[in-house]
Amino acid sequence: MDDLDREILSILRRDARTPYTEIADRVGTSEGTVRNRVERLVEDGVIERFTVATRTGNVKAMIEVSVDVNVDTAEVSDRIADWQEVDFVWQVSGEEDIVVVVDAADTDAVNGLITQARELEEVVGTKTRLILNERVG
């Protein structure tokens, strides 16, 4: 992680679709170097993923899920991560086992997801918090 990496990262944060060729021009190096650097940043996990920031007028919520003992939490998390409208699935420590962060069209859709979770036989309970406001750190 040197200054060149940081320069590249700061360009990608602003617009992740900036072509390698343009990044190379702007930071004064070659396309290949930018490509190698970005590949390494992804491998090292510094870049978690390329994504889109969306501004839906949607309802966000956290669904805290408790599963039965003897349940493969990771496997359940995998299945939930495939559902529509799910942003993140976290296995967590504490009272509950899984936290699902959802971004749904309306409260009905949130409700649908809660129902869907409660219908999983491994799930013994859920607690939902609506996210009333989000700030990005």
Partner DNA sequence: TTGAGGATTACGAAATTCGAAATTCGTCTT
Partner DNA sequence: AAGACGAATTTCGAATTTCGTAATCCTCAA
**Binding residues for its own copies (CB under 8 A):** 6, 9-10, 12-17, 45-56, 60, 62, 74, 77-78, 80-94, 96, 99, 102, 127-137
Stretch (H or E) spanning 98? strand 98-104
**Short-list 95, 113, 96, CA closest to 104:** 113
Under the binding rule (CB under 7 A), the answer on residue 84 touching DNA is no
Residue 1 Cβ vs DNA, minimum distance, rounded to whole Å:
11
Comparison of 37 and 60: residue with beta carbon closer to DNA? 37
Under the binding rule (CB under 7 A), the answer on residue 73 touching DNA is no
Query: Exposed, middle or buried by CB within 10 Å (0-12, 13-18, 19+), for 62?
Result: middle
Under the binding rule (CB under 7 A), the answer on residue 33 touching DNA is yes
Number of neighbouring beta carbons within 10 Å of residue 37: 20
